[in-house]
Amino acid sequence: MKVYCDTSTLWNNVTRHDDVKTLKELRAFEKLLALRRKGKVKMVRSHVVLRELERTKDDAQLISLRADFEGLEQVPLDEKVVGFHNQYSNLGGGSYPLVSDVQDERLRDELLQRGLDRGDAEHLTQAWANGCDAFLTRDEDSIVNPHGEWLECKLAPLKIRLPSQLLAESES
């Protein structure tokens, strides 16, 4: 099972909260990591995660999140060349690729129109474009509850899951 992990599921994002709901998700996430170590779950990430975690103000937390990011496998379709910028003068010149971190801009834009924020829409687009089986998130109020059912129809066969939900399904 290939699982795309959004930024909210990075280990050091989960462990810095201690409310009851988060602790439940943390326990489930620990068990998913154990399944990963056994080779039963493949956990992946994209450059969208890196862009989000780079906004972290706390230096120690940023270092921890980068380590979490590096510990996940990169999705194969992570960047897409959309053109080139060419610059020339009498001294020479160069050509520089223009890249997008999103494989399908039309899908991302449709998700934005549906009411998802840009980061969430880009994460979901990357998960779908890379053939992931599940999109793992703790964003219950902004993704799972308001959009989960619609997203699963639109992005089938991608499942939108909290760690506890994915664990329950994998154990059954």
What are the pLDDT digits (tens) for 40-89?
Answer: 999 999 999 999 999 999 999 999 999 999 999 999 998 888 888 899 88
- Nearest Cα to Cα of residue 4 among 142, 134, 107: 134
SS3 163: helix
**Structure-token pair, residue 76:** 């194969």
Q: Which domains does the chain have, with CATH numbers?
A: 2-171 (3.40.50.1010)
Q: Return the pLDDT at 79.
A: 86
Q: Do residues 49 and 60 lie in contact, with contact meaning Cβ atoms separated by under 8 Å?
A: no
The pTM is what? 0.89
Quote the DSSP letter at residue 122.
H
CA 144 – CA 160 distance, rounded (Å): 7
Q: Return the pLDDT at 121.
A: 97
**Measured in whole angstroms, how far is the alpha carbon of residue 100 from the centre of its chain?**
15
